[in-house]
Structure 1
Amino acid sequence: MGVLLEAKELSKSYASGPNDGQQALKKVNLQVRKGEFIAVMGPSGSGKSTLLYSLSGMDRASSGSVTFGGEEISSYSEKRLSELRLEKMGFIFQHIHLLKNLTLFDNIVLSAYLAKRSSRKEINSRALEYMRKSGIAELAGKNITQASGGQLQRAAICRALINQPEIVFGDEPTGALNSKTAGEIMDLLADINESGTTILLVTHDVKVAAKTERILFMLDGSLVAERRLGKLKKEKQDGRAREEELTGWLASLGL
């Protein structure tokens, strides 16, 4: 598979005073290949979320470059970045941002209506299929107060997929869920990845990271280590062994 997303010498500083600043990213170099399932780990404040936002164009790096689909997007205008995110990227967050005055179904289809890349009939059909695969089809007409946290996160995943993005970014997408629901969400993301969608997520949870194929570890704004576990083979139920391998690797890093 070819390279979908690449960062070169990516740095990000936040000014904390007139003469100094906090460096959140320090010359990060990273390649994400099409179809990969990647987790970014590291302690709080290590730069994980800043990296995700900088790669997706939700935040601008101070220096360096980001290339997506063969085009450098670092110098894109805000309007062009917004269009790129709408059409080719999906986003899942820990805190689920759904509109209270809309049903779950309407929350899912709204961005696709705005993108106008398909007819409403096609969009509606795609949304219902995603909801069916996610196990929430019966909630299509419900509002967000009538669904559990896990069901709302499934709706958020459907929304992230509705424009058929090339990559989905997740910022602690299971962080607010219990372990059983988090496992179900990760199984759903694994199925999405198997269908060809690239996924890059930030997590602190070993159980979550163990279900991805490549783990990157950040410390003080730099990528300092990497571990490849390969694709999870569900039929072999090797999840526990992968968790133990990942835990041992983190321990070897002194963590």
Structure 2
Amino acid sequence: MDAPSRSKRLFLSERGLILEYGNRIDPQINGRVRLMTAAIGEKKIPGVVNLMPTFRSLLVEYDPLSISLDHLNEAIDAIEDDLGDRKPPPGRYFELLTYYGEPYNYDTDRIAAHNGLSAEEVVRIFSEATLYIYMIGFIAALPNIGGLPECLHTPRLPSPRVLLPAGVVGLGGQQVAICPVDLPSGFNYIGRCFQKIYDPYRFPPCPYAAGDRIRFKAVSLEEAQAHQDEFPEPVQELEHRTSNDQRPTSN
């Protein structure tokens, strides 16, 4: 289903207007959000002070002393009309080298038991899936990732762990995360990447962005650690590569 070309407007405050393009987690809706974020930024509308894109909406922060809400809505209408049904450019593709063994396979058995799979099948399906980054946020350079094969969907832990090391990779429900720094978390963690995915002294501080696709490629501990602290680079452009439910078939 295509994303709507016109947004639903939600008045947040005298300084905030939300543009909503749908009510579900969907790459096409997110693509529209990304397209509008770029277009509004390029227009440099006087009075617009910040843009905050999310999964399915865009928060436009503005100075009411510089632009009225009516004039802001008119400017956004013009941008949406100009964009029409245009699609965003394809994102980049990253492969993060990930080790799935001890001691970082904290919850692999839990995911396997919940979905009727073996631990080996969990790792194979997860590591072969191409996932989609919807947004960056919550903390540091944390990517909010979707596209997880349905056969791996697993509820979060009843109680979160107090602290996990940077680089651990896990899933909760239908979403995937990699910790950019040491964090507490209630996700189910199954591996670790040793590449550096957050550097506050770089701009931008993380290698990926919303709209990029990512795969957590399975490698040995030695290979993963050999790339410790390297900043990942995109390896190819993607246009139509998607992840599918790869549940093994029984004979």
TM-score (norm 1): 0.27
- Counting helix residues as a fraction of each chain, which structure ranks higher? 1
Structure with bigger gyration radius:
2
